């Protein structure tokens, strides 16, 4: 869903500043859905927001959010961790 940019999401009292996969956005905003595992993600671009519902709110279920809603981020984090581990193993030897 695309919504025209008219108000600051903080004015609603529902949305908090967040992070998301880089897509050229200005900012990311998230709101939880009380009584649900889902969360609303608003991605701010110049002049509009792109809004979708995540299957898992990252504040409530961070691992499930990475697995279901943001697998690219999970792969990136795992690859960076593996790379760091390998570099430390190579350069940490005496």
Residue-range domain boundaries for the chain: 2-91
- In the numeric block, the tokens 């649900």 are attached to 36
Predicted local distance difference test score (pLDDT) of residue 15:
94
Q: In what order do the strands lie in the sheet with 16-18?
A: 2-4, 48-54, 39-45, 27-32, 16-18
Contact 51, 41 (CB under 8 A): yes
**pLDDT (tens digit, 9 = 90+) per residue, 36-88?**
999 999 999 999 999 999 999 999 999 999 999 999 999 999 999 999 999 99
pTM summary value: 0.79
| Residue of 37, 45, 42, 44 lying closest to 68 (CA atoms) | 37
């Amino acid at each position: 869903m695309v919504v025209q940019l008219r108000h600051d999401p903080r004015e609603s009292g529902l949305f908090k500043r967040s992070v998301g996969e880089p897509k050229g956005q200005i900012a990311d905003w998230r709101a939880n859905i009380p009584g649900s595992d889902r969360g609303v993600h608003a991605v701010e671009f110049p002049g509009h927001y792109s809004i979708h519902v995540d299957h898992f709110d990252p504040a409530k279920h961070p691992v499930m959010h990475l697995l279901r809603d943001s697998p690219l981020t999970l792969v990136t984090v795992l690859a960076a961790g593996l790379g760091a581990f390998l570099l430390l193993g190579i350069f940490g030897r005496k």
